[in-house]
């Protein structure tokens, strides 16, 4: 209901309740019943909050092997010695090295039949980030940008789309504009650069006044924002200043967390990034992406994955467990995967090459059904296509639906071209 503010003293719940409306209806007579019904319906619609409000993406840059992570085929010709371990989901195994994740896997689901038409790192990354294949005529927004755009919250004073340890191709706002690009930051053990001022409050205030004089001249002939009074430069400056003075920025500082809780995630930049992600979504941030690079194992695949599992396993398991403990898992979707998988066969260098024809992602929270496995790949490696294939865009549509966002909604781009938020189909088995 446009214009309604639940925090406003004149239209908050205590002033704009069903009881108040019914009293007004009694005074106005029966002719008020029709608008009353409409108002009640609108109020009820506004009160319907989707279970999911945020997404945490654990981005495994480089393309992890499904066979050494979420879809092992032990004792098969394509395993090349990879062992598997049992999990808390009966009959489902993970690759050895993911013991902690195996213990909490009943809180998650696996999609083992993800398919993509992109086998190049940059193109496949774009495809996973946006749900669209690269197109020279348009830049699509990443899923984090879509969520921030569709679920705005004026109470959040820090960026609502954040990339921790960003890789080579960080998430972009696409046709929503640079304002929806991911805010990039590094290891949470270190302070965010340029966030604090070395000036006293008096000098800062004087500089703001001086800047306002210059802004008035700059504003002439520039494109204003939606209310017609500010330039995009004004808006950016205001957001930066608000973040610098906000108490919410403490969510980035994992040093405030007790040592035992911090170490549960692993004493690594990625582990600290996952801990920060949990703290950020608790503050209301819509999307946090944490990157773990190094999965492009064209050589020494098994050794590379074993080393990375020591980083991913504690971080992923601690994140899901921590969100559940904080009662945040039901409103936070956790997605873990990379741009594609690796080939069933090893190459002469002991590596696995790019394989977009059937790879795995793990997903949890946000009303997504837990303890399920969607699709399967051929344990013999002869069949290129998996059973029950899931397209990249289907994952996007499923996440958006869980967030209460209509994936079929069309957005008019700056050049007047209507584009749907997603062209995928929801994975019914994963939705309540």
The pLDDT mean for the chain works out to 86
CATH ID of 54-191+253-430, from 3.30.56.10, 3.40.50.2300, 3.40.50.11900, 3.40.720.10: 3.40.720.10
Q: What is the mean pLDDT of residues 259-263?
A: 95
List pLDDT tens digits, range 116-154: 999 999 999 999 999 999 999 999 999 999 999 999 998
- Reported confidence tier of residue 235, pLDDT bands at 50, 70, 90: low
Q: Which of 364, 337, 428, 320 is nearest to 108 (CA)?
A: 364
pLDDT number for residue 7: 41
pLDDT number for residue 421: 98
Alpha carbon distance 231, 229 (integer Å): 7
pLDDT number for residue 12: 40
Per-residue tokens: 55:
């997404």
49 has a pLDDT exceeding 70: no
pLDDT number for residue 249: 85
The percent of residues above 90 in pLDDT, for the chain, comes to 69
pLDDT number for residue 214: 67
| CA of residue 170 relative to chain centroid, distance | 13
pTM for this entry: 0.83
83 neighbors 97 (Cβ within 8 angstroms):
no
Angle at 61 (CA atoms; ends 179, 274), nearest 5 degrees: 70
Per-residue tokens: 144:
């984090």
Picking from 32-46, 73-87, 208-222, 396-410, which range would have the lowest pLDDT averaged per residue? 32-46
37 has a pLDDT exceeding 60: no
Domain ranges across the chain: 54-191+253-430
Picking from 32-41, 74-83, 330-339, which range would have the lowest pLDDT averaged per residue? 32-41
291 has a pLDDT exceeding 50: yes
Q: What is the mean pLDDT of residues 18-23?
A: 38
Antiparallel, parallel or unpaired: β 93-95 and 354-355: unpaired
- Reported confidence tier of residue 2, pLDDT bands at 50, 70, 90: very low
- Reported confidence tier of residue 337, pLDDT bands at 50, 70, 90: very high
17 has a pLDDT exceeding 80: no
CB atoms within 10 A of CB 240: 12
pLDDT number for residue 157: 86
Counted residue by residue, the chain has a size of 432
Per-residue tokens: 31:
């002719």
pLDDT number for residue 223: 58
38 has a pLDDT exceeding 60: no
- Reported confidence tier of residue 247, pLDDT bands at 50, 70, 90: confident
164 has a pLDDT exceeding 50: yes
pLDDT number for residue 401: 96
Q: Which of 281, 398, 290 is nearest to 337 (CA)?
A: 290
19 has a pLDDT exceeding 50: no
Per-residue tokens: 297:
């194992």
113 neighbors 102 (Cβ within 8 angstroms):
no
The percent of residues above 70 in pLDDT, for the chain, comes to 78
List pLDDT tens digits, range 72-126: 999 999 999 999 999 999 999 999 999 999 999 999 999 999 999 999 999 999 9
- Reported confidence tier of residue 35, pLDDT bands at 50, 70, 90: very low
Q: What is the CA radius of gyration of the chain?
A: 24
């Amino acid at each position: 209901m446009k214009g309604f503010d639940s925090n406003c003293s004149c239209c908050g719940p205590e002033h704009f309740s069903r009881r108040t409306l019914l009293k007004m209806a009694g005074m106005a007579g029966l002719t008020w019943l029709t608008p009353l019904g409409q108002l009640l319906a609108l109020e009820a619609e506004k009160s319907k909050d989707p279970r999911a409000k945020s997404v945490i993406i654990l981005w495994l840059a480089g393309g992890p092997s499904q066979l050494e992570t979420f879809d092992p085929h032990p004792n098969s010709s394509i395993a090349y010695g990879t062992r598997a371990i049992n999990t808390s989901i009966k009959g489902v195994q993970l690759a050895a090295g993911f013991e902690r994740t195996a213990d909490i896997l009943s809180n998650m689901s696996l999609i083992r039949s993800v398919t993509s038409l992109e086998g190049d790192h940059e193109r496949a990354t774009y495809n996973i980030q946006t749900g669209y294949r690269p197109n020279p005529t348009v830049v699509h927004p990443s899923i984090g940008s879509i969520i921030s755009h569709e679920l705005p919250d004026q109470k959040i004073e820090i960026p609502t789309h954040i990339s921790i340890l960003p890789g080579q191709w960080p998430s972009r706002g696409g046709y929503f504009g640079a304002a929806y690009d991911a805010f990039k930051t590094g290891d949470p053990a270190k302070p965010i650069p340029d966030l604090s001022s070395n000036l006293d409050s008096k000098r800062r205030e004087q500089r703001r006044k001086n800047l306002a004089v210059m802004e008035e001249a700059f504003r002439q002939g520039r494109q204003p924002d939606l209310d017609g009074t500010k330039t995009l430069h004004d808006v950016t400056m205001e957001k930066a200043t608000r973040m610098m003075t906000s108490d919410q920025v403490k969510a980035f500082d994992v040093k405030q967390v007790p040592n035992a809780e911090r170490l549960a995630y692993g004493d690594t930049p990625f582990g600290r990034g996952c801990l920060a992600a949990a703290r950020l979504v608790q503050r209301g941030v819509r999307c946090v992406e944490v990157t773990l690079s190094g999965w492009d194992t064209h050589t020494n695949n098994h050794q590379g994955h074993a080393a990375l599992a020591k980083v991913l396993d504690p971080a992923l398991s601690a994140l899901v467990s921590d969100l559940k403990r904080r009662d945040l898992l039901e409103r936070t979707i956790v997605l873990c995967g990379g741009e594609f998988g690796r080939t069933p066969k090893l190459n002469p260098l002991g590596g696995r090459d790019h394989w977009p024809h059937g790879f795995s992602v793990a997903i949890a929270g946000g009303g997504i059904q837990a303890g399920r496995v969607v699709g399967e790949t051929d344990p013999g490696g002869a069949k290129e296509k998996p059973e029950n294939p899931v397209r990249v865009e289907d994952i996007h549509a499923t996440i958006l639906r869980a967030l209460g966002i209509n994936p079929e909604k069309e957005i008019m781009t700056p050049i007047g071209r209507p584009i749907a938020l997603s062209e995928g189909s929801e994975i019914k088995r994963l939705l309540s």
